[in-house]
Structure 1
Amino acid sequence: MRELTLKKAGAWLFASGLMLSVTACSSWIYRIDVPQGNFLEQKDIDKLRIQMSKEQVQYVLGNPVAENSFEDNTWHYFYALKGGRGDNFEKQLVLNFQNGKLVKMTGDFDTPKEFNVPLDQ
């Protein structure tokens, strides 16, 4: 009977050690980065000018992630990166149009130096 108890204890210790070693190795598991949205760089934003048409903006930046359903004069560009190691990164850009022309930009990017100079000047 004592041998049976020792065998159970040994099996339990072995299983416990195995579980601990498996959970300790979970930090070695590769986790992929998950990007979502439009990746924009400041060099792309620097091409924006006031009075650009929607088509011109779309040519420079691509399609927006979301357009306002109730007012089609607001475009949202958003980028999020969920890092596999827990480091997250987010940037957004909101463009406002009036009569089909760009009038304002807000968000996490610097406003271009020449933003207030229309292209046709």
Structure 2
Amino acid sequence: MQKLTRIITLSVALTVVSGCSYVGVYKRDIPQGNLVTQEMVSQLQPGMTQEQVVYVMGRPLLEAPFDASQWDYVFRVDKAYGGVEQRRVTLAFDPQGRLANIEQEGDLSQALPIDVDSNMGPATEGSNPMLMQPDESTQNVAPISTQPASQL
């Protein structure tokens, strides 16, 4: 009888403990692809060259492997406690490499549900990464000596 009581108590305790670990799971939004906004798409005009489009939109996420006349810009956010939001802009170019057609999917006018920290991530194109280094006075790191170890 005592053995049965211990087994049932242990089973209930393990069930309760394993169930508690699910409550504290942290999830976060996962953005993927090209950042696509309505402001970017509104700058596109038919007749623009591919270089001009790259300047406005950046390099496309997908280029058709057998036909370089179609570029796809896809942005997808997998929301932690919700659904998936997807935006897609497909650009078609004529044989001379000029923008001919713009197709949009998704609501580009909505604000993006991502937090952007200006201090994190890669440096922006054209900026000097050495000027973006943290100030030495804010770091608690001893300076590195340039003298050989034999002279120290």
TM range (shorter): 0.7 to 0.9
Q: What are the Cα deviations for residues 72-113 of structure 1, in whole angstroms up to 9, with x where unaligned?
A: 111111111111113210011111111111011112279xxx
CA contact (8 A) 1:45 1:109 kept: no
Q: Using the TM superposition, give the Cα deviation of residue 41 of structure 1 relative to its aligned residue in structure 2, in angstroms.
A: 0.8
- Matched residue of 2:100: which SS? strand
CA gap 1:78/1:58 in 2 versus in 1, 3 angstroms: same
Corresponding position: 1:56 with 2:52: yes
Q: What are the Cα deviations for residues 3-60 of structure 1, in whole angstroms up to 9, with x where unaligned?
A: 222222222222222233334x1xx421121111111111111111111000000000
Question: 2:98 matched to which residue of 1?
Answer: 101
Corresponding position: 1:33 with 2:29: yes
TM-score for the superposition, normalised by structure 1: 0.78
Question: 2:122 matched to which residue of 1?
Answer: none
CA contact (8 A) 2:86 2:106 kept: no
| Unaligned runs of at least 5 residues, structure 2 | 108-152
Equivalent in 36, 41, 45 of residue 45 of structure 1: 41
Whole-Å separation in 2 of the counterparts to 1:102 and 1:87:
33
Question: 1:10 matched to which residue of 2?
Answer: 9
Question: 2:115 matched to which residue of 1?
Answer: none
TM-score for the superposition, normalised by structure 2: 0.63
- Structure (1 or 2) with the greater strand fraction: 1
Question: 2:149 matched to which residue of 1?
Answer: none
Task: Tell me the matched-pair count.
Answer: 106
Greater CA drift, 51-60 or 84-93: 84-93
Whole-Å separation in 1 of the counterparts to 2:15 and 2:27:
26
RCO (CA 8 Å, sep 6+): is it higher in 1 or 2?
A: 1
Whole-Å separation in 1 of the counterparts to 2:65 and 2:36:
23
Identity %: 25
